[in-house]
Amino acid sequence: MEGQPFAGARNSPLPEAHCPGHTPPVLHQLLEKRFREAVLALLPDADTRSLLVRPCPDPKFGDYQTNALMAVAKQRKLNPRQLATDVLAKLDVGEWCEKVEIAGAGFLNFRLKPDALCGALQSAARGEHLFFEKSAQPRTIVIDFSSPNVAKPMHVGHIRSTVLGDCLARTLRLLGHRVVTDNHIGDWGTQFGMLLVGWKRELDRGGLAADPIGEMERLYKKLSAECKLNPATLEASREELVKLQAGDPGNLAIWREMQSLSQAQFDTLYTRLGVKFDHALGESFYNQRLPAIVEDLRQRGIARESEGAVCVFSDGTLPPKDDPFLINRDGEWVPNPALIQKSDGGFNYTTTDLATLAYRLETWTPAEIIYVTDGRQQLHFTQFFSIYRRWHPDSTVKLAHVWFGSILGEDGKPFKTRSGDTVKLADLLDEAEERAFQVVSDKSAGLSESDRREIARVVGLGAVKYADLLPNRQSDYTFSWDKLLALNGNTAPYLQYAYARIRSLLRKAGVAPVDPSLLVPAAPEEMALARQLLNFGIVLEAVADEYRPNFLCNYLYELSGHFARFYENCPVLKAEGAVRASRLGLSDLTGRVLKQGLELLGIETLEQM
Ligand code: ARG
């Protein structure tokens, strides 16, 4: 402990009055609330939503900061520094802040009282909160994610939707919202015409028993190639599809078999990934509702016939560059309608999505619906949302398309197997576990094989999920085994090891639980770690507001970095008395936040690795 700044002063606990321990969990929310009140006192019509208080990027200037007044001043043609001065005069945060300063062009920097920081840590240590608060206005939110297709293997693209959607569901639930997850399985559509022809003509029963998805995929590929060359096959597929749609018992039975074989595959993968759905209402569930939707849209003049099909065109209310129903061809804006009924009477993806939306609103009355798919569906969702708005102009439901980029191989091209096929999810997960097993065996050769297998399962699956969640979801990312399994760097294995190390530290200390009132950070590394813990709630809100799990990944990585610096500079086991207790308490809180954070990412932790 010699040479530790600040540490010597704290061999006995600080008097209770110094660290009252009554500070509510989420300090930034309290500051934000008072800040909004101060602004409203001056400008009663101000829009408080943009009045945010956030962690200060440089602790030199303070613990929290707001830049919101500059925008307000600009909007109202006020002098920003003057506005900041006036707001400061009305601001009542003396309970928690030792000072608030105006900086730069009109920033406010808040510096916490040590008591406030320490009070929040102590109340967390007492189990009253974990640095976040449940929403004061819980909402019902439907999340449509994963949504693979029947008779096709789930591939690496589906993992991104599954992992992102699952993380958003977990986070929104933790924040107190009522979340309904619904897997919108692609179990209907033209592909079944071809599949039926293939199934009847040349199904290999043995192949189907051995590898159902492989066999159905083989039939589909064969038939879709044949349909392109042979009009008779195309016609046969069309007829089988019409029979299926008309309820032909034989075709329905085959379709059901394809569905249940696929569902079994999906279920195996979901169990392995630890992902659950409240509902899995596939596209076929909405069949009965489609004709009435098309009829209604026609009657309201939103849809009209065009070349035998029924389409929705631009209503001319948007500038052409923002209009999803127009497209620029050679410098000219031409119609780009959304099809809702084909000329042969069949319905489209958009029609089903409209029916699905209507059903969800009737059934769960959500305030928001989130759709997680890849970026290539952006046009579909903008058109579909826009049709819905024209159809129900009074609806207040928030619709969000949360899209993501592609996964690339190390050659910069779409991620494929050596033979050029799309990578199947099951194979990817197998490989992850196998590679993690090598890493674990190198590192912990002394453990039994079954222990190493279990660690490899948790590490391998965690690594793949984390690799999907860490990049900004809208950019493409390069899949690299070495990178995602690295024990050093921003990876799941690194965070899982950090957690296991904290747990082993606490086991060695052997005093659980420590007295919360002894938790008093003093050294700069302890203060920095404490501030990072306090930011957990802000990060969770940002993940939920912007649908960006990468914020949480980066937060946890930084938290581990703060912990490492703390651990390097502030001896824990060798410290004594109150200092030891305080440091153990901080370590325990860090472990709890890490575990909770990883759990939100859908990543398991181990007590020992
Ligand atoms: N089945 C579709 C696909 O694999 C995704 C469905 C997304 N959800 C929706 N409501 N459209 O691309």
- pLDDT for the residue 157: 78
Please report the pLDDT score of residue 294 as a whole number: 97
Q: What is the pLDDT of residues 26-62, one digit of tens each?
A: 788 889 999 999 999 999 999 999 999 999 988 889 9
Task: State residue 57's pLDDT score.
Answer: 86
376-391: average pLDDT: 97
Q: What angle do CA 152, 471, 481 make, to 5 degrees?
A: 65
Q: For 113-208, where are the E strands, in sequence order?
A: 140-144, 178-182
What pLDDT score was predicted for residue 101?
95
Residue closest via CA to ligand 1's atom 11 equals 353
Q: In this predicted structure, what is the pLDDT of residue 11?
A: 36
Contact, 107 vs 35, CB < 8 A? no
Distance 147 CA to ligand 1 centre (A): 5
Q: Decide if pLDDT at 347 tops 80.
A: yes
Range 532-538 average pLDDT? 95
Mean pLDDT confidence for 263-281: 96
Q: What is the structure's pLDDT at 60?
A: 87
Residue 25: its pLDDT value, please? Answer: 62
Concatenating the DSSP letter of every residue in 41-74 gives HH-TT--GGG---EE-SSTTT-SEEE-HHHHHHH
At 68, the pLDDT band (50, 70, 90 cuts) reads: very high
* Residue 494: band (very low, low, confident or very high) from pLDDT cuts 50, 70, 90: very high
pLDDT at 425 over 90: no
pLDDT class of 13 with cuts at 50, 70, 90: very low
At 402, list the tokens: 């949360």
Average pLDDT over residues 157-168: 94
Mutate to test the pocket of ligand 1, among 144, 145, 147, 371 (most ligand atoms within 8 A of CB): 147
**Ligand 1 neighbour 147 (Cβ under 6 A):** yes
Two structure tokens written together for 443: 């590192």
Backbone region of residue 443 per phi and psi (left: phi > 0; alpha: psi in -120 to 50; beta: other values): alpha
Q: Whose CA is nearest to atom 6 of ligand 1?
A: 147
Strands (E), 275-344: 303-306, 309-312, 326-329, 332-335, 338-341
Which of 3-7, 66-70, 79-83, 489-493 has the lowest average pLDDT?
3-7
**What's the 148 CA to ligand 1 centre distance in angstroms?**
7
Question: With b meaning 16 or more CB within 10 Å and e meaning fewer, what string describes 444-460?
Answer: eeebeeeebeebbbbbb
Instruction: Give the mean model confidence (pLDDT) for residues 149-169.
Output: 91
Nearest CA to ligand 1 atom 2: 147
Number of H helices, E strands in the chain: 21, 15
- Using alpha carbons, select from 155, 26, 106 the residue that is nearest to residue 422: 155
Amino acid 1: pLDDT:
30
Query: What's the pLDDT band for 305 if we cut at 50, 70, 90?
Result: very high
Pick from 184, 263, 266, 281 the residue to mutate for probing ligand 1's pocket: most ligand atoms within 8 Å of its CB. Answer: 184
With a 6 Å cutoff on the Cβ, whether 371 touches ligand 1 is yes
Distance from the CA of 562 to the center of ligand 1, in angstroms? 40
Q: What's the token pair of residue 32? A: 């934000």
